[in-house]
Structure 1
Amino acid sequence: MQLMTTGEKNTDSDIFTKPSFWECDNCNRILKHGEFRFNCTVCPDYNQCETCTATMQPPHHHRMVREIAYGYVEEAEYTRVDLAARILAAVTTYQDRYCMGVRDIDPNNPKNYVDSYSWQTFKTIGERITNFSHGLRRLIKPRGYLGICAANRPEWLVTDFACILQSFITVPIYCLFNDREIAFIIKNTPVSIIVCDKEMLPRFIRLHSECPSLRHIVCMDPIPEAMSSKMKIYF
Structure 2
Amino acid sequence: MSGTLNINDIFQMVKKRMALIFIITTLITAITGIVSFFILSPVYQASTQILVNQSKESTELYNIGEIQTNIQLIETYGEIIKSPMMLEKVKNRLNLDISNSALSEQIEIVSKGNSQIFTIKVESTDPKLAVNVASTITDIFQDEIKALMNVDNVNVLSNATIGDNSSPIKPNPITNMIFACFAGLVISLVLTFLIEFLDNTIKVESDIEDHLKMPMLGIVNLMENKKKRKK
TM bin, normalised by shorter chain, reads under 0.3
Larger RCO (alpha carbons 8 Å, 6+ apart): 2
Identify the structure with the greater helix proportion.
2
Larger Rg: 2
TM-score by length of 2: 0.23
Q: TM-score, normalised by structure 1?
A: 0.23
